[in-house]
Amino acid sequence: MNHDSVTVSAAKPAKAWYKSLFAQVLCTLVLGIVLGVLVPDFAVKLKVLSDGFLKLIAMIVGPIVFCVVVHGIAGTGDLKSVGRVGGVALIYFEIMTTIALALGLVLAFIFGPGHGMNIDTTTLDAGAMSSYSENAHKLQGSGIGLFILNIIPTTSIDALARNDVLQVLFFALLFGVSLALVGGKSAERVTSFIDDISKVLFKAMGLIVRLAPLGVLGAVAYTVGKYGVGSMKQLISLVALFYVSILIFVFVILGAVLRYAGINVFKFIAYLREELTIVLATASSDSVLPQIMRKLEVLGVKKSVVGLVVPTGYSFNLDAFSIYLTLAVVFIAQATNTPLSIGDLLLVLGVSLVTSKGAHGVPGSAIVILAATLSAVPSIPVIGLVLVLSIDWFIGMARAAGNLIGNCVATVVVAAKVGDLDHEQAQRVLNNRQAFEVS
């Protein structure tokens, strides 16, 4: 896909505001809040809209990742380049994950959101954790060896059927490298065929994205209808601190990293506004994976870099999740009056570097991974997780948005580092006042 083939011109007449996906999403978001307040019983039933939208997206994510990665590797024909991109990406992921984990620890200690709660753990309802137990075997105490084994799909069809992005990526990498090694006309025909399929899939994705306002309506109406507008009052300090920490991480830390690539963080966030609005409302970054990949290509990032870094980052570069992991651990310790030594904090940091990987796509993964992390620090009661169950949805909104921004920034920075970012194209797109919509 040639970057020059996609242009965004400010000279075009502005379309009516109500035709903008961003405006439609905002309107349905407000409508969802109103319905949740006025008719909560009806609003809760609208969750089917959100679930349906997420299922439509899930239906197409796996095949798109496969096609983009395979075409990116085989189309490049330079396996050394692919290896260099992968190496730079993994180093970047580890550095940013460590910074995010450290930020969560520091902010928790500075502001102490759990101090004064004086929770008696014997009064907490252990049964509240039961709904997460069925997913615990996927993550809790699995260790590095089992995590690596889980990257390898049982069959390629199984990985696509279960929409396991990491397993699809693994198979796509293997297939793409093999296709590049075969070379010749046979490889060219297969590569061209896969590229044609990806174009059809992106067109289908564009049609599905137009339903995003309905998905947002269902998600917001359900949340407000079930929990109420004031549902964030419980543990409001933790929620507020997490949102502030995301803002600090995005605009200070990621802003400084983006400056390396010559990009203004505010313009970059504005460019992704439609997708971020959808993610905040649905608390799922899966819902915008295909269009994010398309937008990064339009921005001037080489297709092979987008196809490799973005899907990998969904499992290895969970910046916002990492912040929440250490923030929640310290919060629980403070709320239960559990003293933490320097050794405990270093243990939490080290364990979190491992447990924060591979959480993507597992329902209730934040709670399960928190349990896995706390189990490595015996002094902190695992039952304290019950304290954060009621706010997990609200935390999840910012967590998904922060993870998405982190992965987009990672893709741009890695591309800039290996020379696969068209800086002139990026500036043309970001400086254009008319937002680009993939649909």
Residue 191 domain flag? yes
Residue 277 domain flag? yes
> Using one digit for the tens of pLDDT, what is the confidence trace for 58-75?
787 778 778 877 877 776
Structural domains of the chain, count:
1
Residue 7 domain flag? no
Residue 439 domain flag? no
In this predicted model, which residue has the larger pLDDT, 54 or 308?
308
- How far apart (Å, rounded) are the C-alpha atoms in residues 152 and 198? 23
Q: Quick one: pLDDT at residue 10?
A: 42
311: CATH: 1.10.3860.10
| Domain hosting residue 281, numbered range | 16-430
Residue 234 has pLDDT above 50, yes or no: no
Residue 410 domain flag? yes
Residue 11 domain flag? no
Mean of per-residue pLDDT scores for the chain: 78
Among residues 190, 205, 204, 202, which one has the least CA distance to residue 71? Answer: 190
- How far apart (Å, rounded) are the C-alpha atoms in residues 391 and 26? 23
Half-sphere exposure of 72 (CA within 13 A, CB side): 30
Give the rounded percent of residues in the chain with a pLDDT score beyond 90: 15
Confidence label for 247 from pLDDT (cuts 50, 70 and 90): very high
Question: CA–CA distance from 399 to each of 59, 67, 201, 295, 435 (Å)?
Answer: 23, 28, 28, 21, 24
Residue 24 has pLDDT above 70, yes or no: yes
Residue 4 domain flag? no
Q: Quick one: pLDDT at residue 161?
A: 80
- Is the alpha carbon torsion for 139, 143, 144, 145 positive or negative? negative
In this predicted model, which residue has the larger pLDDT, 9 or 410?
410
Whether the predicted model's global pTM rises above the 0.75 cut:
no
Residue 5 domain flag? no
Confidence label for 256 from pLDDT (cuts 50, 70 and 90): very high
